[in-house]
Amino acid sequence: MKKKQRLILQIMLAVLMIGILVSFSVGQYPVPPDAVVGILAKKAGLPIESFWTGAMETAVWNIRLPRVILSIMVGMSLAAAGGAYQGVFQNPMASPDILGASAGAGFGAALAILLGASSAGIMTGAFGFGMVTVGLVFLVSHRAKGDRILGLVLSGIMISTLFQSGTSFLKLVADPGNQLPQITYWLMGSLSGARWADVGFAVVPMILGWIPLLLLRWQLNVITVGDDEAKTLGIHPQRLRLLIVVFSTLITASAVAVSGIIGWVGLVIPHITRRLVGNDYRYLMPASMMGGGIFLLLVDNLSRSLTASGIPIGILTAFIGAPFFLWMITGKGARDEH
């Protein structure tokens, strides 16, 4: 069992590495693989004579590399948060936006665009509103009576709806000439404008969120037996849920801030990964993160190569992912667990 799971993790890592190398050559401006390796090696400080053009160097270093890194980071974050939420909410249908992180971030971004903010301002608005929304949901749910998890999820759905309506209102009053298309495009989710500044914005909060999610992965197994039973096994279900929500929101809000709303990944990548390595979070959490990274990297490559302007990745994730997932649960990909 364990050997198999370790092997799958290693294969996923290899696929990710190959995916990264291939990604540099994909796009409207082809760069030969040896030039890619040369440019990266030179940037890493190795003494190598340039045998490539300055345009190639710009394409690889300033455009493709940040985009590759960002797509992997966003994919890892959404899948990790989704997997963790499915555990602490004891619900396979949970996804990272269940507590309103995406709806809040979308509202924050739309508001920032309406106020004419810079791209840094839009990112900050999205991140801030994403965090605040989930905080609000948590506070409201504490006053909810009855089942704690249900109270939290219902509060999340209601407050998400409020922010979505708010976003619709902002679109209504936005200038249809430039602001409205910008808001609409942002909400669709895209990595086409990815730059080093985006990577710099997201990298710290994401790493701060990934580490605890990885460290708490055994407790995530235990909480799926239900709060009461989990408590008799020696954990604090409510405290664990709070920690997971805080760190998942941190990475989800960062992901949405730099990429817009990319749905689907957080819900389905953990499920595809469950079929590969099983439900034990000791393997599932790292595998989900790699799976999310691989998936978003591949989809972004596709989005880049299909059209010159690039189809927003938020549209493509579902177009490619949903049929694949249906194939997995029904066709040849389906197999009984254990």
Partner 1 sequence: MSIEVKNLSFSYGKKQILHDISFRAEKGEFLSVLGPNGAGKSTLFRCILGLLPDYSGEVLINGHDIKNFSAREASRQIAYIPQNSTPTFHYSVLDIVLMGRTNRAGTFGNPGKEDEQASLAALEKIGIGALKNRSFHKLSGGEQQLVLIARALAQDAPVLLLDEPTASLDYGNQILVLEQAKKLSAEGYTVIQTTHHPEQSYLYSDRILALQNGRIIADGKPCEVLTTELMKELYHAQVGVVSLFDDAARVCIPAEFIDQKGNRQ
Interface residues with partner 1 (CB under 8 A) are 1, 86-87, 90-92, 212, 215-219, 221-222, 224-226, 228-229, 231-236, 274, 278-280, 282, 337-338
Q: Which is nearer to partner 1, 56 or 88 (CB)?
A: 88
Per the CB < 8 A criterion, the answer to whether 132 and 166 are in contact is no
Residue 256's nearest CA partner among 67, 77, 72, 66 is 77
Q: Closest CB to partner 1 among 82 and 125?
A: 82
Question: What one-character-per-residue DSSP string does 45-72 give?
Answer: T------S-HHHHHIIIIIIHHHHHHHH
Smallest distance, Å, CB 331 to partner 1?
21
Residue type, 28: Q
Whether 209 contacts 85, CB under 8 Å: no
**Whole-number Å distance between alpha carbons of 307 and 133:** 36
- Provide, rounded to whole angstroms, the least separation between the CB of residue 209 and partner 1: 14
Least distance (Å) between residue 153 CB and partner 1:
14
- CA dist 192 and 60 (Å) reads 14
Nearer to partner 1, 208 or 215 (CB): 215
Tell me how far, at minimum, the Cβ of 216 lies from partner 1, in Å: 7
When the beta carbons of 230 and 290 are compared against partner 1, the nearer one is 230
Nearest distance from C-beta of residue 278 to partner 1, angstroms: 8
CB-nearer residue toward partner 1: 74 or 245: 245
Q: How far apart are CA 212 and CA 114, in angstroms?
A: 35
Q: Which run of H or of E encompasses 309? A: none
User: Which stretch of DSSP H or E encloses residue 164?
Assistant: helix 148-173
**Smallest separation (angstroms) from partner 1 to the CB of 328:** 16
**At its nearest, how many Å lie between partner 1 and the CB of residue 152?**
15
For the bound state, the minimum distance from the C-beta of residue 83 to partner 1, rounded and expressed in Å, comes to 11
CB atoms inside a 10 Å sphere around CB 163 = 23
Residue 28 has φ and ψ, to the nearest 5°, of: -75, -20
Please name the residues in contact with 12: beta carbons below 8 A apart, sequence gap of 6 or more: 287, 290, 291, 294
Q: Which is nearer to partner 1, 332 or 338 (CB)?
A: 338
Closer by beta carbon to partner 1, 250 or else 257 = 250
CB nearer to partner 1: pick between 26 and 246: 246
* 145, amino acid identity: K
CB distance 223 to 86 below 8 Å = no
